[in-house]
A and B are shown apart, each in its own frame.
Chain A
């Protein structure tokens, strides 16, 4: 079956620090990979996605590259802001149906 493993949080960084949140997966077939972000009290918003190997998704300064050889989709940002404080979920879908399999989420706290 499909599974997603994320680094445990919380991750606490100072503003302008470099961010990496690790995500690895196991999947049958060829997955599409996603990062979702959840701000306090809100639903999930798509942050970025990649649908095939070596694709790079990017949005709002965040990036992640689909690495088939290491089955990874690590999230990075060069300089975080306080407003980036949220919970980040790595997820995948395979085949038809678009059923997402989620990681457990990583909470990011950015301090001044």
Chain B
């Protein structure tokens, strides 16, 4: 079983609030990712990191930011939540080596912005 954790699991928050979604992994993986998933839709990459102090935006335009100060920790922050941010947010990590490309996902955070 993969050791990747996300908190909170569920969050209901009002418009304009600042929120941070937490993601931690204990596998020592260098590569970490944030995806957004809506019902019946494919996963969209919103941020990724290939190591400490390395972060990049993915293919989905996002008003969120991320940081990677420690290998095991990859939090995602929304400075001002809007109803359009309502979605499922999935964190993943990967060793990303030639023989181990697969990603391991956390349980997700279901965010509702009212």
Q: Do A and B bind each other?
A: no
Binding site for A on B (CB under 8 A): none
